[in-house]
Amino acid sequence: MQHLHEIALNILKGNLNIQSSETLVILTDVHKQDIAKIFHEAGLNITENTMLVVMPILMKSGQEPINAISSLMSNVDVTLCITSHSLTHTMARKKACENGGRVATMPGVTLAMLEQGALHADAREIEVLVEKYVNLLDPAKNVRIVKDGHELTFSIKNRLGIRSTGIVRNPGDYGNIPSGESYIAPIETSANGEILVDGSIANIGVLKEPLLLKVRNGRLEEAIGPDGPRLLELLGEDNGRIIAEFGIGANKSAILCGNVLEDEKVYGTIHIAFGSNAPFGGTNAADVHIDCVVKNPIVYFDGKQVI
Domain ranges of the chain: 2-115, 118-305
Provide the 10 A C-beta neighbour count for residue 258. 16
Q: How far is CA 178 from CA 28, 45, 146, 236, 258, in A?
A: 17, 22, 28, 28, 15
* pLDDT score of 165 more than 90: yes
Integer-rounded Cα Rg, in Å, for the chain is 18
Rounded CA separation 180/249 (Å): 6
User: Tell me: the pLDDT tens digits for 92-131?
Assistant: 999 999 999 999 999 999 999 999 889 889 989 999 999 9
| Backbone dihedral angles phi then psi of residue 132, each to the nearest 5 degrees | -60, -45
Q: What is the pLDDT of residue 265?
A: 97
Mean pLDDT of the chain: 96
SS3 230: helix
Nearest to 186 by CA among 149, 224, 217: 217
291 sits in which H/E element: strand 289-295
Q: What is the pLDDT of residue 2?
A: 85
Q: What is the pLDDT of residue 123?
A: 87
Instruction: Check residue 60 and report its DSSP letter.
Output: S
Rounded CA separation 70/112 (Å): 29
* pLDDT score of 1 more than 80: no
Rounded CA separation 122/26 (Å): 26
Pick the CATH number of 2-115 from 3.40.50.970, 3.40.1830.10, 1.10.357.10, 2.40.50.100: 3.40.1830.10
Confidence of residue 253 (pLDDT cuts 50, 70, 90): very high
* pLDDT score of 35 more than 80: yes
Q: How much is the average pLDDT of 75-89?
A: 96
Would you say how long the chain is, in residues?
Answer: 307
* pLDDT score of 66 more than 90: yes
* pLDDT score of 249 more than 90: yes
Q: How far is CA 150 from CA 192, 194, 232, 265, in A?
A: 11, 6, 20, 23
SS3 22: coil
User: Tell me: the pLDDT tens digits for 275-305?
Assistant: 999 999 999 999 999 999 999 999 999 999 9
Cβ(215)–Cβ(152) below 8 Å: yes
Q: What is the pLDDT of residue 90?
A: 95
Q: Which amino acid is at 100?
A: G
Q: What is the pTM of this model?
A: 0.89
